[in-house]
Amino acid sequence: MNVQKTNIEGVMIIEPRLFKDARGYFFESFSEREFREKVADVRFVQDNESMSQYGVLRGLHFQKEPYAQSKLVRVVRGRVLDVAVDLRVGSPTFGKWTAAELSEDNHLQFFLPRGMAHGFAVLSEVAVFQYKCDNFYHPEAEGAIAWNDPDLNIDWRLPAQHVLLSEKDSHHPTLREWLQTINMQHATLEY
């Protein structure tokens, strides 16, 4: 596998080694040994899959500590823009985002370490999206940032009128609002 660093520490684009011939192709989608050597020493415990139509935007989701998750994501059908936002307070890239186009044609994978908000937008008619997580999902630890936060200014590569959101995803706070909530919670705990 070929590993490419991004502008955010720990977020990486992974290109598997593809073997093609007249019958089609083959590649290892995951090798624990090679992943630990070249990307990160994580142990994945849960695999998830979603299917979405054009314009669906899921995100920007994260799990709060102590249930934060690293994710390894890929597309097995279609094409998406996958986005990671650094929420690690104290990180030099806090509040910055990076993205990768993942598709059934390029076979790229995107690794997000713990502390990232994650989302994706479907750019094809349909997309089947798979991801591995290194921690189990806990509904009480859900967190999210608004997909259209003006400070983040993410280019989702979709016209706004084509964006399809869940009811929940249409009401998330901006990063600034989320930070104010955290600061207020800490202030309350201190007194």
The catalytic residue positions are: 61, 131
Q: Token pair for residue 167?
A: 């009811």
* Angle at 85 (CA atoms; ends 75, 147), nearest 5 degrees: 80
Q: Token pair for residue 181?
A: 């909530």
* Separation between Cα atoms, residue 167 and residue 182, nearest integer Å: 23
* Separation between Cα atoms, residue 104 and residue 100, nearest integer Å: 13
Residues 6+ apart with CB under 8 A from 20: none
Say if CB 54 and CB 162 are below 8 A apart: yes
